[in-house]
């Protein structure tokens, strides 16, 4: 859980996740959105991988990253739970948060 919040604590990494929400992208494609060096971006990807927030697929020489939405969901939801556990509106809320995050992705 700390790993996830640590990953989210950097604006560059949050933006990477946002970009990946739209569609999977290669490391280079992602990097081109930011004013930092490729190695720096690579380090950010490593942090996101470490937090299990993205998956990497290597095809030839390029690596495509994909958002692991369910992990992000579970983390935010799990945390929100600490602040509202044990209510009978739990199920409804869970679905709502999930929909909020997934919007347009799953329905």
Partner DNA sequence: TCGATATTTAGCTAAGTATCGAAATATAGT
Partner DNA sequence: ACTATATTTCGATACTTAGCTAAATATCGA
Integer Cα distance of 26 and 60 in angstroms: 12
The listed partner (DNA, its own copies, none) that binds 82, CB under 5 to 8 Å by sort, is its own copies
83 makes contact with its own copies (CB under 8 A): yes
Token pair for residue 28?
A: 């280079």
One character per residue 27-66, x = contact with its own copies (rule: CB under 8 A) = ----------------------------------------
44 makes contact with DNA (CB under 7 A): yes
90 makes contact with DNA (CB under 7 A): no
Token pair for residue 74?
A: 């579970």
Residue with tokens 């992602």: 30
- Of 38 and 103, nearer to DNA (C-beta) is 38
Q: In sequence order, which ranges of 9-103 are alpha helices (DSSP H)?
A: 11-22, 27-31, 38-50, 69-82, 90-102
Applying CB under 7 A, among 4, 17, 20, 41 the residue interacting with DNA is 41
Applying CB under 7 A, among 42, 66, 70, 99 the residue interacting with DNA is 42
**Residue of 97, 96, 14 whose CA lies nearest to 48:** 14
Applying CB under 8 A, among 27, 56, 71, 101 the residue interacting with its own copies is 101
Specify whether the CB–CB gap between 51 and 75 falls below 8 A.
no
């Amino acid at each position: 859980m700390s790993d996830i919040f640590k990953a989210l604590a950097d604006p560059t990494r949050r933006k990477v996740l946002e970009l990946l929400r739209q569609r999977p992208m290669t490391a280079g494609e992602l990097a081109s959105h930011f004013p930092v060096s490729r190695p720096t971006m690579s380090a950010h990807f490593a942090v996101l991988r470490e937090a299990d927030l993205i998956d990497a697929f290597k095809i030839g020489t390029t690596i495509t990253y994909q958002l692991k939405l369910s992990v992000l969901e579970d983390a935010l939801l799990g945390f929100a739970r600490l602040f509202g556990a044990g209510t009978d509106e739990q199920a409804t809320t869970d679905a709502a948060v999930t929909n909020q995050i997934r919007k347009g992705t799953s329905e």
